[in-house]
Structure 1
Amino acid sequence: MSDPRPELLPEILTRRAGAEPGRTAYVFLDDTGAEATTLTYRELHERALAVAAELESRCVPGDRAALVFPQCPEFIIAYFGCLYAGVIAVPLNPPRRNRIQDATGSIMRDCAPAAVLTLDMFVAPLRAALEPLCTASHWLAVDGMASAAVDFEPRRAAPAEVAFLQYTSGSTGAPKGVMVTHGNLVANEEMIRQGFGHSRDSTVVGWAPFFHDQGLIGNVLQPLYVGTTAILMSPVAFIRRPLLWLSTISRYRAHTSGGPNFAFEACVARAAAGPLPELDLGSWRVAFNGAEPIRPETLERFAETFAPHGFDPGAWYPCYGLAEATLLVSGGTPGRGPRLLEVDAEALGARRYVPATGTRSKTLVGCGQVLPGETVRIADPATGETCPPDRVGEIWVSGGQVAQGYWRNPSATAQTFRAAGEYLRTGDLGLLVDGELYVVGRAKDMVIIRGRNYYPQDIEQTVQASHPALRAGACAAFAIPAPAGEQLVVVQEIRRDAAADPAEVLGAIRAAVVAEHELAPADVVLAAPDQVQRTSSGKIRRSAVRTRYLAREVAPWLPRSDDLTEAQRS
């Protein structure tokens, strides 16, 4: 009689280490693109056993362990060490410039880790910075743990046990710990395998941070699940040299690679600025685009720029997911390319789908179909009733990949994960048209003025295109209360190298918003660089910017004196 229990990730790694001990699981590149180190299945398994043995001697199953690492092999070793020991891993954003992010402090207080795992060089500074924020008793350096002759039997987990906490990015509020079980992991990894068409020959290239669900579930765990090799870069390397990402895809003949929409925009911008390296992107079969709104013009510009270098527009793979569903919810068919839907913009503002007929149209990019093993409903957020096909509603999801809930937060769990008893309320608004899911915005971010709905990302796109001095991807549009009702506020960063007249820029923004949306902003703030917060996946944290705006904490842009007119200087 066969065992109905699925094979979980710790068992998959153990099996691969026994069957293919010398096969390369991961290749790590340095910031120049050179190979820095590799991990075979045997090396990963044996080093994870050493971590597990150390954890077992200090913790009990169910304890939390914070994982604070740069993009390095030790993160993966520590993660599987936690799975082997039954300790709940909590991936964290490592400090930048010796500064602990507010979200990191919030997570440490919320999860109350018994141990902190990191590299030897970071133990002392991390302990000094984080010890006041948590109750951790053990600060362990994974790179100092020897794997030789470790006699440890990995703990056999149940599918319903929590494997790790994936803290939300906080785009609409404080981070919450999503309880991802062992069963959720293998359910979603199987959905990704089928959706992306993966096999053991489907090399993956990735740069997304490991503490983010796209980096961990997609770029680290999916390759191990299917038995292929992952080529891993650091996020810093990508930000500094976007075209190094494409060179890596070309060099390693990658089948799958992707990121948020801004990553593809960055490549187009860098290509326009100078000569391109020698590229052959013909192997790239799944160019996934997800984690933030997908722009049709981005898909077009990228394809036009890189088609001469072998990029096939059919490789576009727009997709949709969220941490509460482990990672992936919907995706296309490899080789099909994107589905575009032309809709009437005014009707969309009233949450209705009407095919575009006039001049005020909007192009929506489809995020693929509902995948096997799940159910997706478009529901009225107020009543929970299923919406008619021509109505925008909230995307509700059920299936084996939907997580258990939020860590020690029963009220938020009941509100988000128990809709109609079994559905996850994603908080995202969308449509299902001919089996394709189209995501149109966040319910909590919706700007509602005089009874009309405005999608903030549409306003932000209009603003950023209104003047060349404005920084791309650094605009937040939101509503604030006023005696006469809600009013629109726009906070937009200015480029670091910009030389512009503030009055001219403000005028351009206001004129563009009025012309495109028939809406006059109550306030437009020209902000200094780095004032518009984003999540690790590139989403605008509108609620955080709104909070800082109301507290008068947004630093304004100060133009150079030679940018001002004579009248302004006087």
Structure 2
Amino acid sequence: MAERGCPLEAVPLPPEVRESLAELELELSEGDITQKGYEKKRAKLLAHCVPLAQGVDPSLQAESRTSGSLQATAPAAKQQKPRPSNARDERFRSDVHTEAVQAALAKYKERKMPMPSKRRSVLAHAPVGACTPPADLHSAPPDVTTGLVQHQHAHRERPQLASVRGVPRGCGGSVLETAGGVPVNSRVSSKIQQLLNTLKRPKRPPLKEFFVDDFEELLEVQQPDPSQPKPEGSQMVVLKGEPPAMGTDWPPSLLAALQQWGTTQPKAPCLTALDTAGKAICTLTYGKLWSRSLKLSYTLLNKLTSKNEPLLKPGDRVALVFPNSNPVAFMVAFYGCLLAGLVPVPIEVPLTRKDAGSQQVGFLLGSCGITLALTTDACQKGLPKAQTGEVATFKGWPPLTWLLVDGKHLTKPPRDWLPPARDSGTGPAYIEYKTSKEGSTVGVAVPHASLLAQCRALTQACGFSEAETLTNVLDFKRDAGLWHGVLTSVLNRMHVVSIPYALMKANPLSWIQKVCAYKARAALVKSRDMHWSLLAQRGQRDVSLSSLRMLIVADGANPWSISSCDAFLNVFQSRGLRPEVICPCASSPEALTVAIRRPPDLGGPPPRRAVLSMSGLSHGVIRVDAEEKLSVLTVQDVGQVMPGANVCVVKVEGTPYLCKTDEVGEICVNSSATATAYYGLLGITKNVFETVPVTAGGAPVSDRPFTRTGLLGFIGPDDLVFVVGKLDGLMVVGVRRHNADDIVATALAVEPMKFVYRGR
């Protein structure tokens, strides 16, 4: 700057600028910034504090300072000796870093404060007094914050930085030696020593420690309370149902009944489907059901090929993917598979590609060896698609071929063609999926003989006759909705009015309106539907239920169903509903229908209810209590056992000993109308479908195996069956057993009208 005639004098800088410059010097010495970045930031800081010389631009002043500094350091850089291998790179060096660090340390040593740096947290671990500043290389260090004095001794080597980044430079600390004798800092060596100590520990305790019993650490086994109630009755005997009806003019098989009604009564209504507004959109006659099912079976057997070979052969399993709003297409697909000798497997429509529930269904499809899925055109359009436009492969599902059952996609068979129907034998007629409480999905196989026996038993127990009308609110793809609305109805040439789920949500009173409109003789509902009707019945005075002779409550085995039945009867008794019409029933996927209450005109005993102590039930004992107490559970009977069935109650755990008459256990059924296996799962099949109940002396009660139903209950007066819970909902707390249904029943007993069930 003197060459340009602009001499400058040293100007004192504010403290904050000095601190910023000291911090900048420390960052350069630590290698956080480059030499160029350091000079740029330093010039920017000093530009605001140095007064402007006359006629000199501030940028020229910064340029002069930078050039002067470079000229002073250039000779020193040429004379510098080669650096050691661990020295910093030349671009990270600073000409004045030693003076800056020394001045900053001296200043903050007096204040007893940590250095203002990005590594302030590191310096804060050790007091400033314990740190030793770098060696004094200059007897009188210049004022590095002004940037106006030429620095000397720039050619000297600066002190080496600490080799450990986590430790402040110059800080003293205890030094330990590792196994190799290399001294390291105590902070690092403590971690290494801890790791070494861990590695030196033996992987397993000495042999003698395995035989040392530490009684203090043993868990205390809870002893049973000697005052708890215990069963006191005698051992129960196997309950036998009424014998099957003999001499009845029934068709020899379900498919024979379909052919008979389809050819002799082609215009008789079979199924009526409703839309979400409650209007009938389609009425399937028995003639149409027979012709469409025949057309589908011909297409399945003759028009589907893979590598010039038939894709399907008799006995193969086929998935049925239909929504709850299309019972007509499902019924055609179901009977089309039966006519072709195939095994239908109804499943739910998958919502997304990675639906957790559909993954379990995919496991079922894979275990059944399914390669073909039947659906409708409208349903396929709603399924997730791949980039190619085809139906996407769902997570966990096997590769599937999709076939549409709409008429335009099927081939009409020749006039004289008849399918090779297999409606007998031990093979499964259909497979119904079941989801356990752990979330796993299994397939319950129902053979042809059991299918026909179930339809005949329901016909005898319910007194179904030809041309009767049944209103079905349940899911027609499984459980009671399938047994009554798709199978037994065809055996008796009944007319089924199917109420879709969406219509029930929009108009909960729709099923009562259809009972009144079609003069239905029977209705199939759940206690949830009765609750909905109670909430929506206000203002509906033109409905009548006088035509009903049976109101089948499919979930009558649940303890809370009694509250909905009582409330429904109180409201609709004035509109033609008779008390004896309400018929609860109990069922399970393994045993199908276990028991159902008969109306008096069919020879059924009067209904009963039991007021049981909750404390006694928690110990598996039946104790009658007063109804006024809050700690009681009121349950209703689910009727008598099915015709041709033998029923007993066995202990829940261990050997299936017969229970006593005042003891709660699992209900087991021996009948020709039950399922026979979990498809492809031989292990759990033997435990559930081949149970042999024994007496207290160990003698088997029968030479035929029983099927576990998963229902917990007992046999009451008049040989009526009472169900108090399910095995899947059993909760064991200590020595007491509680059921999830009891919690719902208790809540409903307090405010029954505030609970509406929206789940199927």
The normalised TM-score by structure 1 is 0.77
Task: For residues 160-214 of structure 1, give each alpha carbon's deviation from its aligned partner in whole angstroms, at most 9, with x where no partner exists.
Answer: 2211111114345412100011111111111111111111142111122222222
SS in 1 for 2:441: coil
Contact 2:269 2:285 in 1 (8 A): yes
Answer yes or no: is 1:442 the counterpart of 2:726: yes
- Counterparts of 1:451 and 1:406 in 2: how far apart (Å)? 31
Cα RMSD for the two superposed structures: 2.7
Q: Quick one: which amino acid aligns to residue 284 of structure 2?
A: L
Shift of 1:282: 0.4
Amino acid at match of 2:734: R
Match of 1:288 in 2: 552
SS of residue matched to 1:188: helix
Q: Does the 8 A contact of 2:444 with 2:679 survive in 1?
A: yes
Q: What amino acid is aligned across from residue 286 of structure 1 in structure 2? A: M
Identical-residue share of aligned pairs (%): 25
Match of 2:671 in 1: 399
Q: 1:398–1:172: structure 2 CA closer, same or farther, 3 Å change rule?
A: farther
CA contact (8 A) 1:317 1:338 kept: no
The amino acid that maps onto 1:258 is: L
Q: Cα–Cα, structure 1 residues 182 and 303, in superposed 2: closer, same or farther, change >3 Å?
A: same
The CA deviation at 1:471 is: 5.8
Deviations 1:97-117 (A, max 9, x none): 898543443433333312110
Aligned to 1:19: 264
CA distance in 2, matches of 1:207, 1:150: 38
Which residue number in structure 1 is paired with residue 543 of structure 2? 279
Quote the residue 2:252 is aligned against.
7
Give the distance between the partners of 1:391 and 1:285, measured in 2 at CA: 34
Q: CA deviation at 1:145?
A: 3.7
Please name the residue that 1:109 is paired with: 366
Task: Report the Cα offset of residue 149 of structure 1.
Answer: 4.8
**Which residue identity does 1:35 align to in structure 2?**
A
Q: Is the 8 A contact 1:112 1:136 kept in 2?
A: no
Q: CA deviation at 1:146?
A: 4.6
Q: Residue 434 of structure 2 corresponds to which residue in structure 1?
A: 168
- 1:121-175 CA distances to partner (integer Å, 9 max, x unpaired)? 3336365244554345531110134564545312231242211111114345412
C-alpha contact 1:49 1:150 (8 A) present in aligned 2:
no
**Counterpart residue type for residue 320 of structure 1:** A
Q: Residue 49 of structure 1 aligns with which residue?
A: 294
Q: Who is 2:709 aligned against?
A: 426
Please show how residues 341-490 of structure 1 align to structure 2 within 5 Å. 341-357=610-626, 359=629, 360-381=631-652, 382-420=654-692, 422-434=705-717, 435-463=719-747, 472-473=756-757
Shift of 1:305: 1.3
How far the C-alpha of 1:373 sits from its partner, in A, is 1.0
Change in Cα spacing, 1:444 to 1:25, as seen in structure 2 (3 Å) is closer
1:51 touches 1:145 (CA, 8 Å); kept in 2? no
- Larger CA Rg, structure 1 vs 2: 2
CA distance in 2, matches of 1:473, 1:351: 28
Question: Which residue of structure 2 aligns with residue 554 of structure 1?
Answer: none
In the alignment, is residue 121 of structure 1 matched against residue 378 of structure 2?
A: yes
Amino acid at match of 1:43: K
**One-letter identity of the residue aligned with 1:250:** C
Structure-2 change in CA distance of 1:387 and 1:32 (3 Å): same
Deviation at 1:463, TM superposition (A): 4.5
* SS of match in other structure, 1:303: helix
2:487 matched residue in structure 1: 221
CA gap 1:147/1:128 in 2 versus in 1, 3 angstroms: closer
Deviation at 1:411, TM superposition (A): 0.8
**Bigger mean CA offset, 329-338 vs 430-439:** 329-338
Counterpart code for 2:722: Y
SS in 2 for 1:367: coil
1:348 offset after TM fit, Å? Answer: 1.9
Residue ranges of structure 1 left out of the alignment (5+ in a row): 475-533, 537-570
> What corresponds to 1:246 in structure 2?
512
> Bigger CA drift: 422-431 or 234-243?
234-243
Match in the other structure for 2:579: 313
2:316 to 57, 63, 66: 63
Q: How far 1:414 sits from its partner (Å)?
A: 0.9
2-side partners of 1:414 and 1:332: how far apart?
Answer: 30
* Aligned residues of 2:436 and 2:728 also touching (Cα < 8 A): no
Is contact 2:729-2:740 (8 Å) kept?
yes
Change beyond 3 A, Cα 1:238–1:473 = closer
Q: 1:229-254 CA distances to partner (integer Å, 9 max, x unpaired)?
A: 11112122123211001100111111
Q: Secondary structure at the match of 2:677?
A: coil
Cα distance in 2, alignment partners of residues 324 and 150 from structure 1: 40
Aligned residues: 471
2:710 and 2:413 map into 1 onto residues whose CA distance is: 49
Distance in 2 separating the partners of 1:469 and 1:237: 21
8 A contact 1:316–1:338 mirrored in 2: no
CA distance in 1, matches of 2:706, 2:432: 19
Give, in whole Å, the separation in 2 of the partners of 1:307 and 1:470.
22
Give distance in 2, aligned partners of 1:409 and 1:472.
Answer: 37
